Structure 1
Amino acid sequence: MKKTLKIYRDDWREIASLPIMILLLIGLTLLPSVYAWVNIRAMWDPYENTSGIKVAIVNEDVGATIKNKHLNIGKQTVNKLKKNHKLGWTFVNREQAKKGIRNGTYYATLLIPRNFSKKISSIASNHPEKPTVTFTVNEKINAVTPKITKSGVSTVVNQVSNSFTKGVGQVIFSKFNEAGLMLQRKLPLIRQFEDKLFKLEQSLPEIKKIGTKITIIDQNFNDIQKKVQNVSKLKALTPKLDEAIPYLVKVNEQLPVLKEGIDSASDLNKRFTTVKNETDSQLNDILKKMIANIEEAKQQAKDKDRDQLQEIQTSLEELQTSLQNQSQSITDHLQPLNDLVTFNENQWPHLEDSVQKAALFAQNDWPSAQEKLSKAERFVHDELPKAGLLLHKAALAVKNDLPGLEAAVTSTAKKIRDFEKNSSVSQVITALRNDAKLESDFLASPLILKEKKLFPVPNYGSAMTPFYTLLALWVGGMLLISSLKVGRGEIEDSPGGLPFYYGRLLTFLTIGFFQGLVVSLGDLWIIHAYIRQPLAFVLFSIMLSIVFMIIIYTFSSFLGNIGKGLAVILLVLQFSSSGGTFPVAVTSSFFKHLNPFMPFTYGVSLLREASGGIITEVVVSDIVHLLLFPLIFLLLPLLFKNIFQKKPRNKKRARIFL
């Protein structure tokens, strides 16, 4: 340890003895910082200074006419670009744009074609066409500029699209509003339709029955057609009926006379019957008395007189029988009169009423009935076949279409019920009648991007400060090993080279300490980078400078010029694999695999923690990983001490300056 410290003291005595060397060390301390500060300041806020990037705009749009209104969207776009200062928009013709982009005057060109408005307005037609805007970029000029110009042009195109979407949306939602008003006016009709549909659904069984009857009628139509042919026969009888009608009228007129005759016959019958009955009764009584007297006389008379009386009695009895027969004959002859009396009492009123009605019908209704009969005959001959055809079609419809109709009605009714369960026509009307302007604004920009910055860094330069600070520290270490002597040396009485290695390392670490201190303080006070934890940033920078110095010094001390070359190679590899500029995720798999083994990976992360805001577990993890590197490189001389303990040819004390 004493020999190591002695070498360290001798190095600083030598430095102090040479003022020019002091200036050199000051330069070696400041130069890496200047490298970092210049680069950080050069890209301090590049994305806020893009107005100098010239983009040529060529507008050839001639406009279009929609519903007698002229529209030129290309001109509207140009007017918007004149108010947009994110890029250096320059408005030229096609030839100027073509020449300017080739010679580098313009980084990009945007060509709005002649049919731009026409194609956009084609959305109102049945065959809408998308307009094409030609964006040309000269990628030879710069690697980043094409991305910036493309982003700016894309923003403009999106603005045009959003404006168009907003305009179209306002028209559409205005139509929706009108539709809502119409629905509101038609709401009673809609309700009626619903009611009728539900009633139709309820009537489907009855409709099916009617359909069945139609099918049966269609099947029996031939029989019906045969039966209705009787209409023609009935029509043929109308002349005879016409002839009979006058007689019927006359009969009706003679009915009172006929009634009077029938009434007289009835009276006559009654009188005949009365006389007959009285005569029969009187004759029977006389005969009975005479027979009784003869019977009494027979008992008192002699035998001879008795025989005569017997003959008389027999004659009287025969006369009585004859009178009875004659009475019956008279009764039989009076029977038609009795029937006439019965007819007069029972059937005559009905007959009289029927004849009167028939006469009235013949006089009043027969002409119209005759006309209807003629129409019926014409219907049978002319319309009935057509009706049969329609009936057949109806039967086919019942067979083929009624099931589909039934399914459609049932399905529609179910959908209406389901719709009414989840919402209502009133809700639809309310939705349609929303504010058209608000709805179109929403359609053009359906999302509001709420940007929430976690660990915010205000500008690009501050965001790149951790990486360029690390780069400056590594470059500073490489400048030291290139300007100061690094090699195996010893004091004359030294038993080996390990004390020299550690002693000279302390010298380099001291210079590295100041390099880290200067660059971090300059980041804070000279270029005013945003650092949320300044003290931590300074301490982390010093620690990283020491870690890098151990790595670079050991490479050079252990392998000489080869080690210096390895330090350069390691710098190049870390540039792409550490995620300092671009995320490691966008690099190739080779650099992704290198990433966990590079000190820059943890150094960039550590300084970013101090810059944006510290997360303790991240800081601890980064420090632990970083400390592994000096631990490994400090142990290398012990593991390979034979290399460091070889006796040099020159026994003189090794000087620090080349």
Structure 2
Amino acid sequence: MELMSIDKIFHIMKKDSKAIFKNPAVVITIIAIIILPSLYALLNIDACWDPYGNTDNLDFAVVNNDQNATYNNASYNFGDKVIDKLEDNDDFAWDFVDEDDARDGVENGTYYAAIIIPENFSSNLLSINDQNPKQAQLTYLINEKTNPVASRMSNNAVNQIQSKINDEVIQTVNGVAFNQLSVMGQTTPQSSLSQLSYMNSSGVDNYFYSPTEVTKEKINPVDNYGSEVSPFYIVLSIWVGCVISVALIKARYLGESLYKPLELYFGRMGLFLVIGLLQSTVTLIGAFWLGIEVSDPGLFIGCVYLITIAFMVLIYSLLSLFGNGGKALAIIMLVLQISTTNGIYPVYVMNDFFQALNPYLPMTYAIGLLRNALLGVYWPTFFTGVYAMIAMIIATLLVTIIIKEKFDNVANKFEQALKDSGLF
């Protein structure tokens, strides 16, 4: 392996910087390369910011066919109660229609979903005193081909409506039940009545409504979904930015016969690293502007730059070593990492192949590193991510230094063969 000249490496970097500013078309292209990856991250984060908080534009049909029912000498219509509550509810764009319009609307996409309250709804809800109590049924219509996320959101709406109905029924039935208990209590011994007198009626009511209560304790609480997914989208945008860079900028250098392969490699690397760091700077500015949660701004900025350097060194080295084949490898790795690196879905819900692949992919450690910097630091996993990025940089440089000169002739012949085909 021949010794490199540091002067020649810096000479290449200087010529690259001059070449950019001499040509307005190059300046415009470089600016586009710098901005595009940040848009990918920021637009996705903004779109995911609070999807369940913006459901008021989702059209949801409600049909009330319920008939009055009598319970304890009083008339009830729980269907009307549901309608009254939904009229004051802004969670969805409720549309109160008849059953035919609701079914047609869900079928043709006018409504994302519909709820139909049947005629026997109240009578079944109040059948608690019958020998065979009946469970009330709601008909929930959903056209799942309309939109996969909207169908999940409408599921939440149905759960809310069911909860509101249960509250109404429990209040009604409990009132009657406790009246019956008080009548029974008149025949109980005095000692039993004295014990009942110490019972808090509201407490008893709460007990029968919900005998158990769950206290939710959040570790590293996050206020919005956009901040939760931001580590994934920021890391993904860094990788995409590196791929865009190597796709549009050549690793080869005019007059490269004057330089050794490693001089060319390190000389042109400077341009790619500067572009990658500028891409990340734009993404960081956008992330702070969006207001994503940042546990430690200093760590966040440092981690983004470290990840950028690690990814760019790896992807640029693939390009330098393999030419168009390196670009293809970077894209294949991108496709594999989108669903395999624990970014959105837990890796353990994936099949065995993806679970086995997960520990060997760069984005696995980059996403974990950013999660710590953004949403709360747990130092052992934080340093695991840092060490993984540093190890990737060192390993990539070492492998490239070892095989670059030997592999260059093979890579050049492969590139020439592609050019000669007239397709690449």
- Tell me if both proteins adopt one fold, taking TM over 0.5 as the criterion: yes
State whether residues 489 and 500 of structure 1, in contact with CA within 8 Å, keep that contact through their aligned partners in structure 2: no
- Secondary structure of 1:640 counterpart: helix
Aligned residues: 408
- The higher radius of gyration belongs to 1
Residue aligning to 2:51: 46
- Report what 1:616 is aligned to: 379
Number of the residue aligned with 1:639: 402
Q: Is 2:278 aligned against 1:514?
A: yes
**After the TM superposition, which residues 367-382 of structure 1 pair with which residues of structure 2 at under 5 Å, given as runs?**
none
Alignment RMSD (CA, Å) = 2.4
Partners of 1:648 and 1:531 in 2: CA distance:
46
1:500 is matched with: 264
Gaps (5+ residues) in structure 2? 414-423
Counterpart of 1:643 in structure 2: which amino acid?
F
> CA separation of 1:170/1:70 partners in 2, compared to 1, >3 Å: closer, same or farther?
closer
How far apart are residue 95 of structure 1 and its match? 0.9
Structure 1 residue 116, shift from structure 2 partner: 0.9
Asked whether the 8 Å contact 2:63–2:99 carries over to 1, the reply is: yes
Within 5 Å, give how 1:244-255 maps onto structure 2: none
- What is the distance in 2 between the residues matched to 1:79 and 1:506? 66
Deviation readout 1:120-142 (Å, 9 max, x if unpaired): 22211111111211111011110
1:432 shift after superposition: 7.8
**TM-score normalised to the size of structure 1?**
0.58
Give the aligned partner of residue 317 of structure 2. 554
Work out the CA distance in 2 between the residues paired with 1:15 and 1:46: 42
Aligned to 1:533: 296
Distance 2:186 2:394 in 1: 81
Compute the displacement of 1:645 (Å). Answer: 6.2
Residue equivalent to 1:430: 195
441 and 82 in structure 1: CA distance in 2 versus 1, 3 angstrom threshold: farther
Structure 2 CA distance for aligned equivalents of residues 95 and 139 of structure 1: 19
Q: Distance in 2 between matches of 1:445 and 1:27?
A: 58
The offset of 1:9, in angstroms, is 2.4
Residue 39 of structure 2 is matched in structure 1 by 34
Give how far 1:458 is off: 2.0
Cα distance in 1 for residues equivalent to 2:58 and 2:248: 42
**Structure 2 residue identity aligned to 1:466:** P
Q: Secondary structure at the match of 2:119?
A: coil
Q: Distance in 1 between matches of 2:349 and 2:197?
A: 47
Correspondent of 1:605 among 361, 368, 390: 368
**1:584 — aligned with what?**
347
Any conservation in 1 of the 2:121–2:137 contact (CA below 8 Å)? yes
Q: 1:163 matched to which residue of 2? A: 168
> Is 1:457 aligned to residue 222 of structure 2?
yes
C-alpha contact (below 8 Å) 1:488/1:644 kept by paired residues: no
Bigger proportion of residues as helix:
1
| Alignment-derived partner of residue 402 in structure 1 | none
The one-character-per-residue Cα deviations of 1:575-616 (angstroms, maximum 9, x if unpaired) are 101121222233333222222111111111111212112222
Shift of the 181–435 alpha-carbon distance from structure 1 to 2, 3 Å rule, reads: farther
Match of 2:129 in 1: 124
Q: How far did residue 647 of structure 1 move?
A: 11
How far apart, in 2, do the equivalents of 1:492 and 1:115 lie?
Answer: 87
Check 1:89–1:490 CA distance in 2 against 1; reply closer, same or farther (3 A cut): same
Alignment of 1:102-501 (within 5 A): 102-185=107-190, 426=191, 430-431=195-196, 434-487=199-252, 491-494=256-259, 496-501=260-265
In the TM superposition, residue 644 of structure 1 has moved relative to its aligned partner by 2.6
Partner SS state of residue 58, structure 1: strand
Q: What's the CA shift for 1:489?
A: 7.6
Partner letter of residue 357 of structure 2? Answer: L
Q: Deviations over 1:247-296 (max 9, x none)?
A: xxxxxxxxxxxxxxxxxxxxxxxxxxxxxxxxxxxxxxxxxxxxxxxxxx
Q: Aligned residue for 2:73?
A: 68
Paired residue for 2:420? Answer: none
The TM-score normalised by the length of structure 2 is 0.89
2:287 aligns with one of 523, 526, 533: 523
Q: CA deviation at 1:449?
A: 4.2
**Deviation (angstroms), 1:549:** 0.8
SS at match of 2:358: helix
Q: Distance in 1 between matches of 2:10 and 2:410?
A: 21
Per-residue deviation, residues 196-241 of structure 1 (Å, max 9, x unmatched): xxxxxxxxxxxxxxxxxxxxxxxxxxxxxxxxxxxxxxxxxxxxxx
